[in-house]
Amino acid sequence: MSVRVIDQAGIRQLVEKLQQEAKVVAPHRREGRDQWAFQEVTDPDLITLEYTTTTLPPKQFAWPPRETLIRARLGEGPVQAEPVVEVEPLVLFGVHPCDIYGLQSLDIAYCHEHVDPNYVARRQQMRIVGVDCVPDEWCFCASMGTASVDSGYDLFLTPLDGEYLVEVGTEAGEAMLEGITTREPTAAEIKEVKRRLAKKLDQDHKIHTDYHNLPLRFAGAANSPVWEKHAERCYSCGTCVLTCPLCMCFDVLDEIKLDLSETRRDRVWDGCMLEPFAEVASGENFREERFQRLRHRHFRKYAYLFTKFGRPYCCGCGRCVRQCLVHIDPVEIINDLLEEHEKGGVTHGA
Ligand code: SF4
Ligand code: SF4
């Protein structure tokens, strides 16, 4: 696939072309704040391609916070439930490598064993234009191997002094660039992209081991005091799970009209850091304590799903610690567990 250079006018031209074929969603700065959100593009000049991170990840466009899965009319005869799949062609423009990794990870989870038709239909209608970023103090993508990606996008932009190097990832990406003004990159520009990645990998916020070691390091850490140490500040607000690009738990709610004429089944985001998440009908709660919920969340990301799918279910985007009121930090938690392991203080058990 080819590599080109595009300037700001070319970016505008590209966005306008894509808008003729699909809804285009891109990062926008929230007025008066250092916060960014993916929003539908109305004016290409309002897009911010150089941003730290969005508050909510782009998973919301593949898997909305609330969606109807089935509808049924109730009446005299047998009930016929109709599946509901609401989907439209969409371009996610300006997605960071960590978030591309996040979407790829959801693809694996949602197509494993039971293929989720709603999720798959949206992903099939989705095109991705990635963009490289500069990590802030909470990012730890270098530790998780997600500072760069070599797939999962149609086009990928790397900023180059007012212009962008464009890497084409798919045939759809080649088609996107047809008719758009671009030029050949120089050898110096290719070198600059490599230098930029090397600089990005030099992060202070990092875990003190190769991430491949994490499932092994978590084994036997269930009874560690590290969980209580970090969980004692937790408000159980659930912000960390709702802002995480790789958290994917949901609840299913049935709503029936009072006159019993119609029913609807909705799927809504849910999260294991919320107290009622593990509560069952009898009122029993399998993870009643905050440390149990914090432990479960981390075991799931760095051990259970890692072992099941062969990749960590954390991309190091830092949203959980950045958005957490008390900055409960997976990097600190993991490094505490590693230190405990080094000291031989690992406890085996439940
Ligand atoms: S965002 Fe922080 S306080 Fe809220 S549930 Fe997560 S760890 Fe706890
Ligand atoms: S656990 Fe935190 S750092 Fe990791 S992907 Fe989720 S929000 Fe990002």
Average pLDDT rounded to a whole number, residues 182-208: 95
- pLDDT digit string, tens, across residues 277-301: 999 988 999 999 999 999 999 999 9
pLDDT at 347: 53
Contacts of 89 (CB under 8 A, 6+ apart): 21, 22, 23, 125, 127
- The amino acid present at 69, given as its one-letter code, is L
Residues with CB under 6 A from ligand 2: 243-246, 301, 314-320, 330
Residue 69 and residue 50: Cα distance in Å, rounded? 36
Q: Where are the domains of the chain?
A: 3-200, 211-342
Residue 238 and residue 294: Cα distance in Å, rounded? 11
Give yes or no for residue 349 having a pLDDT over 60. no
Query: Among 211, 246, 304, which is best to mutate for testing ligand 2, by the most ligand atoms less than 8 A from CB?
Result: 246
Cα separation values, 144 from 102, 157, 198, 235, 338, Å: 12, 21, 15, 27, 16
Average pLDDT rounded to a whole number, residues 12-16: 97
* Mean of all residue pLDDT scores within the chain: 94
**Which H or E run includes 295?**
helix 290-299
pLDDT at 346: 57
* Claim: this prediction has a pTM higher than 0.85: yes
- pLDDT digit string, tens, across residues 127-149: 999 999 999 999 999 999 999 99
- Please list the helix, strand and coil fractions of the chain in percent, rounded to the nearest 5, in that order: 35, 20, 45
Ligand number nearest to the C-alpha of 248:
2
Give yes or no for residue 44 having a pLDDT over 90. yes
- Tell me how far the alpha carbon of residue 141 lies from the centroid of ligand 2, in angstroms: 10
